[in-house]
Structure 1
Amino acid sequence: MADSDAPEQQDDKTSILYGSDAWAEYLQHKPFPVRASSLKRLRSLLLSDSSTISDLTHVVKHDPILSFHVVREAEKAHAAKGSRVSSIDHAVSSLGMDPLLAISRKLQPVKINPASVQQKQYLRSLANSYHAAFQVRSWLQRKKLPFVEESFLAALFYGVAHWSLWLHAPLHMNKIQIKVREEQIDQSLAEHDVLGCTIQHISMALSQVWGLSELTIEAQDPETSPSRGMLARLHQRALGDPRLDDEQLREMNHLVQERYFPIKLGNWLAQIVSHNWRSSRHINTPDIIADYLGLELDQTMALLHQGCAAASRHYHVPGTLSPAADMLFIPSDFPRNFQLSERELKQISGKYPQPVKPAPKKKAVPPPAPTEVQTHLPDELANAEIFNQTAERFVKGYHLYTKPAHILQGLMQGLIQGLGLPRVVLNIANTKQHSLKAAQAFGLEKTHPLASYEIDLSIPSVFKKLTEKPGLIWIQAENLTKYKPMIPDAFADQIPESGCLLMSVFRTSGVVAVVYADAGETLQLSSFHQERFKYLCSAATLALKRMSQ
């Protein structure tokens, strides 16, 4: 891709990259090539006696990669003084001519290859980031808010991992594209399955290593991202929905006043419309932006279109589709050229790491089947007295149930000893950390992956869905195709062929746990077990809600 382009080192190809720490370590020293025309203009100005700082700033501002390198070097210089870079103008002026000349000599120019999907996706990701930054700047200027240029930089660098991954891990990104566009798997879940984390996690890890601004890191932090429920309420607020209570309105007012909120919103918009301006995912976004700006929807759409066109004029690479061009497309089923061709895959497969996951822990070997093969778990209670007693205590109340842990322990006892389920896992929800972790497992070896599995609830999946409202999911061979796109690959690999049951348990303040149950590797559950599993979990929710009153 660049003049000095060479195959990656053998260590990079053979090591397994999975998780944000591994990716940050791999990517932190990788180069970002610059558009040749931008680099040529910068070098020409630096070698000219008549050039001014204003001239240099103009060139740097019009190229995201030049902006990144200049700001990063300026951040290093300012960190030693205990100060920060507030804008591109500030970065250029604080460095001066000689350091800028040294930077330009280290940078590599991009060799434009019209046939390279990898290169087009890299340049496209730069254009998306530039589009997001332009939108954020225009919004903050319209609202007359401070820190406009600092927010512009944070929005520009928000998706820095997208740039780096298309450059240095195109095989992984290609696999994500296939999962999202062909298999219809949620973007975040696909990223987590292939990379071991989301691209947003990698962006934050890289920004921390590179010493980018606190605002950039805060915006990239998944912990500060609003949940899907919060986004739905923001849309309700934009529409003036009277069902929102005072507490919800206060929570939303606090969120939209955060400095990172427009940065996230701008990048969501840029990512969504890069797929399709008329997609269903894009329908609610302009309403939320209109509410944030205090404008009518048609005024907001005009502003967004103007911002998109301006960003595309400032940064455009011939041969790549600009964000503004997407606005002109009518809805179509014609597939985009998002995937690496077979020819390109052969050319680059030896240069970059393969999308390989760490070897999963081995499943426990099931015991030998008895002489008379049993295929279904018997449709009968293992101990009717324990099952009925547990259910009665949940429904009518029990004086020894004084805290939620007692009810959850009773639930496990009722499912295992009463209903007779062979394998049950109690997964406790941590709403502050947005995680779901196995706390108690019955019928599984301690080394079994399900006995210690932890699920990130910030990633859309069946588990996130179950923690948003009470529900039961019965995964079977007949509906596995439907649910598989919503289950993390590492978890799906451990579900037996006969399927499993999943149900959430709630109290008044929210989710407490998600219970997993299956019949083991050789048996199958029936509607008999599904109905009683659902009944007992529902009764436990009733008991927990009664306790919190």
Structure 2
Amino acid sequence: MKDKSPSGLNEWLHFLQNKKFPVKAVNLTRLKAQISRTEDTLDDMQSNIASDPLLAFAILNEANRVTPNKDNEINTPFHAAAMVGMNGIGKLFSRFESYSTQSRHTPPHIVAFLHEIQTSYEAATIARHWSIEKLTSHEDDIFWITLFRDAARWLLWFYAYPTMVELKQKISQGEKPGQAELSILGCRIDELTVHLCKHWHTPSKVMESFLTKHIPTSKELQTLAHLAHHPDELPHFPEDKRLTILINNPLIFSFCANKVAHEVSLMGWDSKNLPFFYRVIATVMHRHIGDIIQTTHRASVEAATLFNTKGTIPLALQLLDPYLYTGKKAPKPKSDKISPIAQLKKALGKHDIYDTKQKTNLALQTIKQAIPNAQHCIIFKTVNQKTTPLYQFGYHADTIKKIKWNAPSSVFNKLTNARSAVHLSGKKLNGLVKDLPHTSDQIIDTNSHLILASTPTSEREMAIFWLETRTEFSDKDYSKLKQIVSLISHRTT
């Protein structure tokens, strides 16, 4: 914004309705490449579409714009992509604003934008788990509805960062969100979202998740929470017919999960407001409150694994920190412990009959301990110019299997013919992506740091190491990998 922030519903609508959707530059580049390649299909593009929420959101909106069907709406981006087709997706590129997080100093509005997206992913995962537990058969729809109901909030953080910082400060100081939004924005974000969704042709289910016709009012939520007042007892069933209808509508999961995730993001897991929503969901699912809390925590751990945008620390990490609320400091590890690399050297020294699979397995365990910055790792075995993944962690196994690792690659050709090691990032990595095996670019991000190394592990076999992170590898990390690779190297006598 230039001089004065918009104020009121109409001004914010005018400000946001024609704004482009921010999408990661790497995802746009990859999607354009996939559309241009004749051998790629919509199925191959699914992971790329799902990796960027506003990319998926735009495709979903476009499908509902060109193929209106009120009786059976298109509620998932994959269904939408199939309806729109590659040509339809290609026409959407002008609606996107690309951004990059490659810089060491990512602008604060992008960090806040990514933070908000991660919170939305966590809300969507919680809603999905609740839905699965109740056996509603709507879990996929609920995931996307919950995720996309925050789309307007994402744009506000991206395009109106100073205003949203002011709003967040008021809420963190104890002011109710609705009152803070009215005083800072001049309207409610929920109201603004519904109007924007109409403009974007978003499926009506997303808009319905804001309407009291489909979700409980504040008074009705109080009634539902009261039915689960005793933690050790199963909740009572509601006698009111409207409440029975509302608790059987999966949209209540979307609404409550959104509240829980945003509350934890702002105030932490010890927020005094969380038990209220746990009790509501306990009544909806007719389960003990403890079961609801357990499902919520398990969902947050899954979200931390699958949807870490690096905009903020995942909510699950708070659950895994036993010193979070005690005020105590975690004990320092003893300094007399043997280092992971020294342990590897000791293990390999016991005898010299380890084969390639055994050596690389030992190396993998060492990497996990010695190089914690490595978020993803693949170890390959090459025999007779054929490269096969042996071990991996951090990636989806199905994704690794689909990549054509034996496709012509000047980088892998060099690795398989001689001992090599290289640390790639930024422009250097972007320039070499085309020389990696075909389709392996789908597991590389613009923020990626990639370390590649290779060594012979027997007279006829080579091992290739692929270490990748979305943060940063240090020179020490690079040096440690070279030590590990050297230790498992085949020695000629």
The amino acid that maps onto 1:30 is K
Q: Classify 1:326/1:187 alpha carbon distance in 2 versus 1 (closer, same or farther; 3 Å).
A: farther
Is it true that 1:18 corresponds to 2:18 in the alignment?
no
Q: Deviations over 1:402-452 (max 9, x none)?
A: xxxxxxxxxxxxxxxxxxxxxxxxxxxxxxxxxxxxxxxxxxxxxxxxxxx
Secondary structure in 2 matching 1:108: strand
The residue number in structure 2 matching 1:44 is: 33
- Conserved 8 A contact 1:131-1:308: yes
Counterparts of 2:299 and 2:147, CA distance in 1? 14
The amino acid that maps onto 1:22 is E
Secondary structure in 2 matching 1:284: helix
After superposition, the CA RMSD in angstroms is 3.0
> How do 1:55-454 and structure 2 match up within 5 A?
55-79=44-68, 84-104=73-93, 106-112=95-101, 114=105, 116-182=107-173, 184-221=174-211, 226-239=216-229, 249-275=240-266, 276-318=268-310, 320-328=312-320, 330-331=324-325
Q: Classify 1:229/1:297 alpha carbon distance in 2 versus 1 (closer, same or farther; 3 Å).
A: same
Q: CA deviation at 1:207?
A: 0.9
- Conserved 8 A contact 2:120-2:146: yes
The amino acid that maps onto 2:309 is V
Q: CA deviation at 1:106?
A: 4.8
The residue number in structure 1 matching 2:446 is: none
Q: Name the larger-Rg structure.
A: 1
Unaligned runs of 5+ in 1: 1-7, 335-549
Mean Cα deviation higher: 323-332 or 283-292: 323-332
Q: Deviations over 1:353-389 (max 9, x none)?
A: xxxxxxxxxxxxxxxxxxxxxxxxxxxxxxxxxxxxx
The amino acid that maps onto 1:283 is P
Q: CA deviation at 1:320?
A: 3.1
Counterparts of 2:187 and 2:239, CA distance in 1? 30
Counterparts of 1:274 and 1:169, CA distance in 2? 20
Counterparts of 2:280 and 2:314, CA distance in 1? 24
- Conserved 8 A contact 1:219-1:260: yes
The amino acid that maps onto 1:315 is F
Q: Classify 1:323/1:109 alpha carbon distance in 2 versus 1 (closer, same or farther; 3 Å).
A: farther
Counterparts of 2:263 and 2:99, CA distance in 1? 27
- Conserved 8 A contact 1:42-1:59: yes
Counterparts of 2:94 and 2:193, CA distance in 1? 26
Counterparts of 1:328 and 1:35, CA distance in 2? 30
Q: CA deviation at 1:80?
A: 8.5
The residue number in structure 1 matching 2:24 is: 35
Q: Classify 1:122/1:95 alpha carbon distance in 2 versus 1 (closer, same or farther; 3 Å).
A: same
TM-score (norm 1): 0.53
Counterparts of 1:301 and 1:107, CA distance in 2? 38
Unaligned runs of 5+ in 2: 329-493
Q: Deviations over 1:118-154 (max 9, x none)?
A: 2222111111222222222232233232444333332
- Conserved 8 A contact 2:125-2:143: yes
Q: Classify 1:19/1:333 alpha carbon distance in 2 versus 1 (closer, same or farther; 3 Å).
A: farther
Q: CA deviation at 1:294?
A: 3.4
TM-score (norm 2): 0.59
The amino acid that maps onto 2:77 is I
Q: Classify 1:245/1:63 alpha carbon distance in 2 versus 1 (closer, same or farther; 3 Å).
A: closer
Q: CA deviation at 1:247?
A: 7.5
Q: CA deviation at 1:246?
A: 8.9
The amino acid that maps onto 1:312 is A
The amino acid that maps onto 2:170 is K
Counterparts of 1:193 and 1:271, CA distance in 2? 20
| Corresponding pairs, count | 321
- Conserved 8 A contact 1:204-1:221: no
- Conserved 8 A contact 1:56-1:92: no
Q: Classify 1:299/1:225 alpha carbon distance in 2 versus 1 (closer, same or farther; 3 Å).
A: closer
The amino acid that maps onto 2:148 is F
The amino acid that maps onto 2:222 is A
- Conserved 8 A contact 1:132-1:266: yes
Q: Deviations over 1:53-97 (max 9, x none)?
A: 212122212321111111112121113899631322211111112
The amino acid that maps onto 1:58 is S
Q: CA deviation at 1:105?
A: 6.0
- Conserved 8 A contact 1:28-1:206: yes
Q: Deviations over 1:13-69 (max 9, x none)?
A: 45x622223212221111121123333332332233332221212221232111111
Q: Classify 1:81/1:231 alpha carbon distance in 2 versus 1 (closer, same or farther; 3 Å).
A: closer
Q: Classify 1:289/1:22 alpha carbon distance in 2 versus 1 (closer, same or farther; 3 Å).
A: same
Counterparts of 2:326 and 2:18, CA distance in 1? 40
